[in-house]
Structure 1
Amino acid sequence: MKAKVKVATEALSRLPRQHRIALLTTSCLMAAVILWQPAGVHVDHSSVSGRKDILLPLDDIEVLSEQNSEPLGAVIDPQDPEFQVEKDELEQQLDEVVETAHSHNVASGDNLGSIFNQYALPIADMYKMIGVNKAIERLGVGQSLTWTLNDDGQVSEFAIKRNAKETDRYTLVGKQYRFQTIEEKGEIKPVFLTGRISGSFYNSALAAGLSPNQIQTLVQAMQWRFDLGRESQKGDRFAVTVDREFIDGTAVNRGDIRSLYYLSGNREVFVMRHSDGQFYDVEGHSLNRALRRFPLAKRYRISSSFNPNRKHPVTGRISPHNGTDFATPVGTPVLASGDGVVVKAQKHPLAGNFVVIKHGREYMTRYLHLHRILVKVGDKVTMGQRIALSGNTGRSTGPHLHYELIKKNRPVNAMKVPLPQAAPVPSAERKQFLQQARQERDKLKEVVPG
């Protein structure tokens, strides 16, 4: 036997180097094929001394033929009652009478398609509007976009404010869009509207002459400084400046909110809109509370991105992914994206352990498939606070964190959509703003009801 091995070794050594490598590779592959055996297949090793038959159970093996290869959770119905957050009286009143208006200021690198994707707007609606007038694709940095959605989730109206005088508007009529350019030809004048709280803020503001859309603007602007729904009390007084357009002395629109002065007992609140469209207080401080883009202490690989038009990898059906999945190991600390109140902290058969945090009146965040929840309903949390440990609970193909950002009750792309920032008025514009703000506040203090 030793002689045969010696002969074989000498013969192998005489072969060219590339032949020896090829022969060795082939031998390794053959050995791997011989040793490999599919799970659950019984192989008779009874003839081999010392071997014992092993049967692998098939019952607990999860079939992944209809799932993505990346860690991924089940598609959760956003209308699932367990995910719904109870609305207070003011939110219910606004929902009943006004279509929620959404807005976006065009930034560098934006295009129409990326904006529709950020806010999960129907791509079919975009192409219909392009078909009516291709000018919709020509967006300039700083231009303001606003849109409203109907009950079916369609874009019912889409407007592009090109400049101070011109606005392009696309309006859904039946199944098609109608385009028009609206040009302001009149004179913009300030109008003062005043009132006193006798019941709810909403009804008192309507009585003062504000429209539902204007009320919604104020509610969102004030959400972090003074909650006009929960903190307003009978006897509170307010004054509002509205910029309206007049032609031949007649107002032709309801106008835009410029400022608000609100007096509640000894507490006074003043806010004014700056040229960037944001509201600030009399000292130029932002009214916003910032939100962070990532709910984790460090960047983890994104295993599945936000995609409202995602197709199922096998069936080909549209299966929206309304959040961002991070491939986090079980036990990774999950952090609150911003200051807020915990409104859900429970278990769901598909989402597993999950937490929902409400940030003011405009934003909510959802955290799914958690290993452990560290907060309870009603807890006030701050940005960066640990709220949970990531896991693999519910219907999930692997350890990960599913994170959602909800803006005005609709999922948006948390990785790309502009987030509220708490920066003050830019220093170059601060002096002029402070002077105008103090003058505006003094005017409103003069007209507020005594």
Structure 2
Amino acid sequence: MKIFKVAAFTIKQLSRQHRIALASTSLLVVAALLWQPSSPLKQAVSYQSNQRIDVELPVEELDVLSEQNSEPMGAVLDPQDPEFSAPKDELEQQLEEVADVAHTHKVTSGETLGVIFSQYALPIADMYRLIKVNKSIQNLGVGQMIEWSVTEEGRVKEFSVKRSAKMTDVYTLTDQGYKFKQLEENGEIKPVMLTGRISGSFYQSARTAGLSPNQIQTVVQALQWRFDFGREARKGDRFAVSVEREFIEGKAVTRGNVKSLYYLSGSREVFVMRHDDGQFYDAEGKSLNRALRRIPLAKRYRISSSFNPRRKHPVTGRISPHNGTDFATPIGTTVVAAGDGVVVKARKHPLAGNYVVIKHGREYMTRYLHLHKLFVKVGDKVTMGQRIALSGNTGRSTGPHLHYELIKKNRAVNAMKVPLPQAEPISSKQRGRFVQLASDERQKLLAVMPG
């Protein structure tokens, strides 16, 4: 009672205007508490309590909030579809028939086996199978080189981890599953000079000189920005290649890695040598790569759907891979080329809408989908950062956005995570020594060059 008296006394002290406002507010609160509208669902239950109504919704019509400004779950674009691929020349076709495409990765700080498998869209199930064969595969050290190849179905065919200069762990897929072996180089590593002259195609001439398909592939990729062996090799061109091979008791036991190459086409000279980091550089220590930018836009936009090759449909549970990165860009946003290259596709597709495909050398390709307007055509040469289109909402799309894909050696990879090629020279601390070694190596190759 004392509380009520105090409250009443306090209210009396208020001005008439404040007492009216307080009373009005109190009435509204009471009315809100007393008012309980009849629920449509409860009404339906009360009138039809003994009936059950099933409403079927088409799965493809269901929107997932996390996938707005993206593609519907059912709109899966096959990265191997010829519609979105660059045409292959004779050299690429020859290498594809006989050589396993080798994918490589240098382990960086904080990376795990799972992270690497995710970046390159490798089957997680294969990763667990490899771990089951030998758990040590999970123990990756910073700077170690990993190499793998895949089957036509996308399974890991061979996987190796170079533990040291002499030790390499190798996992090979067989009919009985994965087999593990550790290779140890017990012999002496010596350079072997292989020389030749172009009489037909570069591939056949290099094979005649003693180079393996994988070594030819290494040379072709190393020089992809300096010399195109598919288009520029001419009859009469001469070359010399240094290959590091392991010898035991005077007998070569491995084919070895390509160390350097000297190529002479008319008056044009091309020389490259591999550095300690595994990359090739010219005689002055300059990189042979062309850089790629991670985001093909002038500024950053929200990522509406990330790269996820194992994405599952929330209703059906089926795998509905997303092989690119989607940016929630308004219609009309400028899209730029991720790197120097040649436009190989610029057209319209029912799912992709207006799209552009750019080939960057022989190793990389980028795709830009759902565009509003194109500024390039097939055959155009573009440079990194050049405007190629305006983003849009064409094709099958849940909202305006840019779908961007990075293809490395014919496989879709995570453009936001994988290491990108950089056009940086050897560091100033190491360049002097490299230049001297390169000069000596060049003289050795010149000495054995065919006359």
Pairwise TM-score range, normalised by the shorter structure = 0.7 to 0.9
Equivalent position amino acid for 1:300 in 2: Y
CA distance in structure 1 between the aligned counterparts of 2:450 and 2:31, rounded to whole angstroms:
94
Alignment partner, residue 210 of structure 2: 209
Equivalent position amino acid for 1:146 in 2: E
CA distance in structure 1 between the aligned counterparts of 2:31 and 2:197, rounded to whole angstroms:
91
- Structure 1 unpaired stretches of 5+: 1-8, 35-61
Equivalent position amino acid for 2:292 in 1: L
CA distance in structure 1 between the aligned counterparts of 2:28 and 2:180, rounded to whole angstroms:
71
Alignment partner, residue 47 of structure 2: none
- Residues 371 and 391 in structure 2, CA contact (< 8 A), matched pair in contact too: yes
The alignment status of 1:72 with 2:73, answered yes or no, reads no
Correspondence 1:2-401 to 2 at 5 A: 13-15=21-23, 64-68=61-65, 69-73=67-71, 74-401=75-402
- Residues 369 and 394 in structure 1, CA contact (< 8 A), matched pair in contact too: yes
Q: 1:100 to 1:23 in 2, by over 3 A?
A: farther
User: TM-score, normalized by length of structure 2?
Assistant: 0.88
Alignment partner, residue 444 of structure 2: 443
- Shift of the alpha carbon at 1:80? 2.9
Alignment partner, residue 403 of structure 1: 404
- Shift of the alpha carbon at 1:82? 1.7
CA distance in structure 2 between the aligned counterparts of 1:24 and 1:286, rounded to whole angstroms:
77
CA distance in structure 1 between the aligned counterparts of 2:76 and 2:349, rounded to whole angstroms:
12
Q: 1:334 to 1:246 in 2, by over 3 A?
A: same
Equivalent position amino acid for 2:194 in 1: L
- Shift of the alpha carbon at 1:72? 1.2
- Shift of the alpha carbon at 1:411? 0.1
Q: How many residues align?
A: 412
Q: 1:249 to 1:334 in 2, by over 3 A?
A: same
User: TM-score, normalized by length of structure 1?
Assistant: 0.88
- Residues 66 and 313 in structure 1, CA contact (< 8 A), matched pair in contact too: no
Equivalent position amino acid for 1:401 in 2: L
Equivalent position amino acid for 1:71 in 2: N
- Shift of the alpha carbon at 1:23? 6.3
Q: 1:63 to 1:433 in 2, by over 3 A?
A: closer
Equivalent position amino acid for 1:421 in 2: Q
CA distance in structure 1 between the aligned counterparts of 2:30 and 2:450, rounded to whole angstroms:
96
CA distance in structure 1 between the aligned counterparts of 2:88 and 2:70, rounded to whole angstroms:
30
- Residues 12 and 20 in structure 1, CA contact (< 8 A), matched pair in contact too: no
Q: 1:81 to 1:240 in 2, by over 3 A?
A: closer
CA distance in structure 2 between the aligned counterparts of 1:25 and 1:328, rounded to whole angstroms:
44
Alignment partner, residue 427 of structure 2: 426
Q: 1:16 to 1:66 in 2, by over 3 A?
A: closer
CA distance in structure 1 between the aligned counterparts of 2:436 and 2:140, rounded to whole angstroms:
33
- Shift of the alpha carbon at 1:21? 8.2
CA distance in structure 2 between the aligned counterparts of 1:11 and 1:393, rounded to whole angstroms:
62
- Shift of the alpha carbon at 1:77? 2.1
Equivalent position amino acid for 1:303 in 2: S
CA distance in structure 2 between the aligned counterparts of 1:119 and 1:179, rounded to whole angstroms:
22
CA distance in structure 1 between the aligned counterparts of 2:410 and 2:183, rounded to whole angstroms:
29
CA distance in structure 2 between the aligned counterparts of 1:260 and 1:134, rounded to whole angstroms:
39
Deviations 1:359-404 (A, max 9, x none): 0000000000000011000000000000000000000000000000
Equivalent position amino acid for 2:88 in 1: K
CA distance in structure 1 between the aligned counterparts of 2:225 and 2:164, rounded to whole angstroms:
30
- Residues 198 and 237 in structure 2, CA contact (< 8 A), matched pair in contact too: yes
Deviations 1:51-88 (A, max 9, x none): xxxxxxxxxxx984155542112221223332232100
- Residues 67 and 397 in structure 1, CA contact (< 8 A), matched pair in contact too: no
- Residues 80 and 410 in structure 2, CA contact (< 8 A), matched pair in contact too: no
CA distance in structure 1 between the aligned counterparts of 2:378 and 2:258, rounded to whole angstroms:
35
CA distance in structure 1 between the aligned counterparts of 2:36 and 2:355, rounded to whole angstroms:
47
CA distance in structure 2 between the aligned counterparts of 1:328 and 1:25, rounded to whole angstroms:
44
SS of the residue 1:388 aligns to: strand
- Residues 335 and 388 in structure 1, CA contact (< 8 A), matched pair in contact too: yes
- Residues 85 and 357 in structure 2, CA contact (< 8 A), matched pair in contact too: no
- Shift of the alpha carbon at 1:214? 0.2
CA distance in structure 2 between the aligned counterparts of 1:319 and 1:252, rounded to whole angstroms:
46
Alignment partner, residue 45 of structure 1: none
- Residues 342 and 356 in structure 1, CA contact (< 8 A), matched pair in contact too: yes
CA distance in structure 2 between the aligned counterparts of 1:429 and 1:29, rounded to whole angstroms:
79
Q: 1:190 to 1:316 in 2, by over 3 A?
A: same
Q: 1:319 to 1:63 in 2, by over 3 A?
A: closer
- Residues 404 and 414 in structure 1, CA contact (< 8 A), matched pair in contact too: yes
- Residues 66 and 314 in structure 1, CA contact (< 8 A), matched pair in contact too: no
- Residues 372 and 389 in structure 2, CA contact (< 8 A), matched pair in contact too: yes
Alignment partner, residue 6 of structure 2: none
Equivalent position amino acid for 1:291 in 2: L
CA distance in structure 2 between the aligned counterparts of 1:418 and 1:113, rounded to whole angstroms:
16
Greater alpha carbon shift after TM alignment, 107-116 vs 344-353: 107-116
Q: 1:25 to 1:65 in 2, by over 3 A?
A: farther
- Structure 2 unpaired stretches of 5+: 1-16, 41-58
Identity of aligned residues (%): 69
Q: 1:429 to 1:158 in 2, by over 3 A?
A: same
Alignment partner, residue 39 of structure 1: none
- Residues 279 and 286 in structure 1, CA contact (< 8 A), matched pair in contact too: yes
